[in-house]
Amino acid sequence: MKNADREASENIDERYQNAGYGISADEWKFDEYNGLDVKGKVVVVIRKEPAFATAHGTKGESSSHGDLITKAILARYPGDAAGRPWGMIIFSCLGAVIVGLGIILLLAYNWDAIPNLVKLAIILGSLAVVHAIGIKLVVGAGRYRALGEGISLLGSMLFGAGIFLVAQIYNIDEHFPNAFLIWGLGVLAMAMVMPSIPQAILATVLLTIWSGSERLGFDSPVWVTPVLLLGLIGPLAWRSRSHLLLGVLIPAFFLAYGFSMPTGGNHDWVMFSTFLSLAALCLAVSFLTRSMGSFPGSGPVFWWYGGVIFIGVLYLLCFPSLAREFLVWHHVQTTWMHYLYGLIPLTLALLAWGGVAYLHVSGKLVRNTGDAGFEVFLIPLTVILGVVDMLVVHRVADWVIAGPFNLVFIGLVASMMARGCKEGLIKQTVLGSGMLVLLVVARYFDLFESQLVRGLVFVVTGGVLLVEGFLYARAKKQKVEGGAQ
């Protein structure tokens, strides 16, 4: 394989990814990893640096970007923005938050003795100075950009403190969640203009706190929060290919959507079915992003959150009493808003799984090692079962409701355990075993009343786990021996 130039390595096996010189340098405005997905692939790079590097002060000597070890680390951990100094960003932002809290405490110590105009001047002046320094460093896009991110985040912390301090100075007795709204919108504006991942994360947290404060403190649902998160912060995470921001955004969206549920009556069934649909939607999106090539690195993030919530909800539905409680359709005080609230994620989930089915049939569905096969379609089946049960739950016995969910749970367990043992995958093997034990323990208390039956069930379960351990060890050994060859 030749790698003297980019053109020589274009026609290579799909297991390999050509990354040019394998350099990501903000100060050069040069990023070979921009738009590339190198996860699970062998990265092919050209040694040393491009010719134009001499124009940036290297004077014929190779900079750190041309070092082979640097290229190897960058290829292994390209991150959200390849080559970004995340260590400096994390410590700068953490230090900025701590410094901000310290400044607030110092001001609070002698706050009452300071005249109001001086207080206001301190607040506005500190905001202007800190943000000016931070933005200047960020716009410079040099080695101090990460420090600028931290200083700018400090300015956003001071902005929030300033909102509460100004309210105290002028005795403004306002609806307190509005402070989080103003703070969140200000930080969101900074995140969009810069653009900045730390600022976007802070804005996500603040807007979620605002939504929760309105709902829990005043029983006032706020529909605009999930719209802001999905419509403004979502595209920023997508454009920046930020796994970190996406990892904060997804749970924040779940919480914000839960806080936005219409009030009135007992509508646990709406919340429960909605979270089931949202989890199924996340799992479908994980397949779609990997298969369609748009931010494929987001697939594991969607899969993790969707999987945890889906398995948790499915496990609860395996209990007959809980299945009836969560799936009882209360018509009293149910408005069209409640139906719309549950129908939107349900429709999106089914459409997304329809897209996954189309890709599966057409052979375009991209899977990772250890992904389940056709049994993943038990996920949309579970959502459909939930809708059917809501229509008939008043007229059937508890086990008729919970029985199908138990079968789906067992199907997923068997799939994980079989795939883990066949391919020597520890994650699937352990997860399937844990889910099996949880299901057996649950049925111990509400189904297996006879000691004889309980004993037999535990003997069979233990035997299954022993056989699984043997098969996994054999598959792992064969996998290691095959790799050595």
- What are the domain boundaries of the chain? 7-76, 265-485
The yes-or-no verdict on residue 103 having pLDDT over 80 is no
pLDDT tier at 6 (50, 70, 90 boundaries)? very low
> What is the tens place of the pLDDT at every residue in 104-129?
666 666 667 777 787 788 778 878 88
Q: Point out the least confidently predicted range of 331-335, 389-393, 407-411, 426-430.
A: 331-335
Assigned token pair, 94:
């953490």
Query: Distance (Å, rounded) from C-alpha 357 to C-alpha 479?
Result: 31
Residue 24 forms beta bridges with which residues?
A: 31
Q: What is the pLDDT at residue 82?
A: 44
Residue 19 in contact with residue 44, Cβ under 8 Å? yes
pLDDT tier at 207 (50, 70, 90 boundaries)? very high
Angle at 18 between CA 17 and CA 20, to 5 degrees: 150
Q: What is the pLDDT at residue 455?
A: 81
- For residue 52, count CB atoms less than 10 angstroms from its CB and return exposed for 0-12, middle for 13-18, buried for 19 or more: exposed
Q: Bigger pLDDT: 153 or 202?
A: 202
Q: What is the pLDDT at residue 1?
A: 36
Assigned token pair, 146:
């990460």
User: Which stretch of DSSP H or E encloses residue 345?
Assistant: helix 336-361
> What is the tens place of the pLDDT at every residue in 179-200?
999 999 999 998 988 888 889 9
Q: What is the pLDDT at residue 13?
A: 58
Kindly state the percentage of the chain with pLDDT values over 70. Answer: 74
Packing angle between helix 268-292 and helix 243-259, nearest 10 degrees?
160
Residue 246 in contact with residue 237, Cβ under 8 Å? yes
> What is the tens place of the pLDDT at every residue in 253-300?
999 998 988 766 556 677 888 899 999 999 999 888 887 777 767 888
Angle at 273 between CA 269 and CA 275, to 5 degrees: 120
* pTM assigned to the model: 0.74
DSSP 321-341: HHHHHHH----TT--HHHHHH
pLDDT tier at 205 (50, 70, 90 boundaries)? very high
Assigned token pair, 278:
């949202």
Query: Distance (Å, rounded) from C-alpha 230 to C-alpha 254?
Result: 11
Average pLDDT, the chain: 78
Q: What is the pLDDT at residue 333?
A: 62
Q: Bigger pLDDT: 35 or 314?
A: 314
Residue 390 in contact with residue 342, Cβ under 8 Å? no
The yes-or-no verdict on residue 206 having pLDDT over 90 is yes
Q: What is the pLDDT at residue 54?
A: 55
Alpha carbon 281 to its chain centroid, in Å, reads: 13
Place of tokens 């595209």: 235
Q: What is the pLDDT at residue 119?
A: 76
The yes-or-no verdict on residue 3 having pLDDT over 50 is no
